[in-house]
């Protein structure tokens, strides 16, 4: 059985770029997904659901450089559940999207694509060269924001 999900929604805040202690980039995002439907009186109703997601490495850096609050995006990935215990001993759990692909929706917007150069042996994709952000060592991840 496959666990995959595709979401289309709007970023509710700018992507939050962080780096693990070993320098691996990760970006956290939150999107609002609207669902419109007609009720029993044939009147339009709208529900909004909020989803969090995380992407890693080059995708994380590209997301933080390319997308911002309010942008309509599409996401593909898989659902993952994280569980942790608070300092008070309460158990917490959250379901998030582990993002494989993310991009701007072109339904009501345009985009300019600039291909990045890869220095990790993953192939040279040409286009405009970009310089990756310098890693900032961070070791203060809380239990609800574990880097992996």
- What confidence tens digit (pLDDT) does each residue in 107-144 have? 888 888 888 876 654 444 444 444 444 444 444 445 45
Q: What average pLDDT does the chain have?
A: 82
Whether residue 10 has pLDDT greater than 70: yes
- DSSP symbol at 3: -
Give the tokens for residue 126: 């040409």
Tokens 């593909």 map to which residue?
76
Give the per-residue pLDDT at 113: 84
For 73-110, what is each residue's pLDDT tens digit?
999 999 999 999 999 999 999 999 999 999 999 888 88
3-state secondary structure at position 70: coil
Q: What does the pLDDT read at residue 119?
A: 60
Q: Which CATH number fits domain 5-131: 3.30.70.270, 3.40.50.720, 3.30.70.20, 2.40.50.140?
A: 2.40.50.140
Q: Are 49 and 32 in contact (CB under 8 A)?
A: yes
pLDDT tens-digit map of 26-79 = 999 999 999 988 999 999 999 999 999 999 999 999 999 999 999 999 999 999
Instruction: Give the up-direction half-sphere exposure of residue 53: CA atoms within 13 A in the CB hemisphere.
Output: 36
Task: Kindly provide the residue ranges of all beta strands, DSSP E only, lying in the chain, ordered along the sequence.
Answer: 5-11, 16-19, 25-38, 44-56, 72-85, 91-104
CB 111 within 8 A of CB 68: no
Look up residue 60 and give its two tokens.
């994380």
∠ CA(53), CA(111), CA(73), 5° rounding?
25
Specify the pTM.
0.70
């Amino acid at each position: 059985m496959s666990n995959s999900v595709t979401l289309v929604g709007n970023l509710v805040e700018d992507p939050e770029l962080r780096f693990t202690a070993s320098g691996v980039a990760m970006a956290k995002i939150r999107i609002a997904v609207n669902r419109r439907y007609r009720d029993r009186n044939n009147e339009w109703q709208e529900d909004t659901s909020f989803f969090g997601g995380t992407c890693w490495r080059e995708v994380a850096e590209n997301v933080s450089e390319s997308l911002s609050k309010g942008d309509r995006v599409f996401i593909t990935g898989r659902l993952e559940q994280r569980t942790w215990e608070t300092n008070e001993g309460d158990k917490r759990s959250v379901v998030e999207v582990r993002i494989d692909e993310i991009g701007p929706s072109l339904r009501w917007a345009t985009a300019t694509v600039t291909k990045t150069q890869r220095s990790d042996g993953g192939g040279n994709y040409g286009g405009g060269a970009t310089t990756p952000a310098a890693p900032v060592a961070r070791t203060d991840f809380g239990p609800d924001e574990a880097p992996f």
